[in-house]
Amino acid sequence: METQQSIFISSLKEPETKEKAFKRLVQEYKERLYWHIRKLVLDHDDANDVVQNTFIKIHLNIHKFKGESSLYTWMYRIATNESINFINSKSAKMGLQNQEWIEAKAEGLKADSYFDGDEATLTLHKLIAKLPEKQRIVFNMKYFDGITYESMSEILNTSVGALKASYHHAVTKIKSKLND
């Protein structure tokens, strides 16, 4: 018997129903994917570019989705990869390392009109920006969004054990910096 998800995926693949189903998909996931991306790229305009590219990629590649993971994790994987590619491309254009670029973005948050966090939140973002890429992604997904290690494992194609270790290292580094 077909599940609700497989029926929905079929409607995303059928030319006659694709547009209507895609509209529903955008309505359902636009905010979740945007916030996931925003925490990775930090800037609203950048997040706007990446979330649009993410949905365009989803639209173009939905016929390749085999249903081996849930649609949600497949889309999160695309959003994460798009964010990483975006950071790689932007930092390369400016002749910076990825981490240098992110740290500069975090430094600029105080003056960002679309950031209204308090001093503690600002400090936290600056410390997150100093983490290695993988730890930064894992920390954001776990700390802010409460995504389970199992879902994260599917999204990032990494074992649960490695993700737990990444999160543990990230938390230890942030705590130690906060105590300095």
Partner 1 sequence: MTDFNTKNPFKIPENYFKELEENLIENIQPTQKEHGFNVPKYYFNSLEETILRKSKKTSPFSRRKLIVSFTTLAAALALLFTIPSSQNSETQIEEQAFNDYLESYYLEDMNGYEILSMLEDNEIDPYFDNSTKNYK
Q: Is 22 a residue that touches partner 1 (CB under 8 A)? A: yes
Q: Are 102 and 136 in contact (CB under 8 A)?
A: yes
Contact pick of 17, 88, 97, 121 for partner 1 (by CB under 8 A): 121
**Which range touches partner 1 (CB under 8 A), out of 1-9, 34-42, 78-86, 88-96?**
34-42
Nearest-angstrom CA–CA distance, 88 and 141: 20
Contact pick of 2, 3, 4, 60 for partner 1 (by CB under 8 A): 60
**Cα dihedral 170/121/179/152 (nearest 10):** -10
**Rg of the chain's alpha carbons, rounded to an integer?**
18
Q: Is 118 a residue that touches partner 1 (CB under 8 A)? A: yes
Nearest-angstrom CA–CA distance, 17 and 36: 28
| Residues making contact with partner 1 (CB under 8 A) | 19, 22-23, 26-27, 30-31, 34-35, 38-39, 42, 44, 48, 51-52, 55-56, 59-60, 109, 114-118, 121-122, 125, 143-147
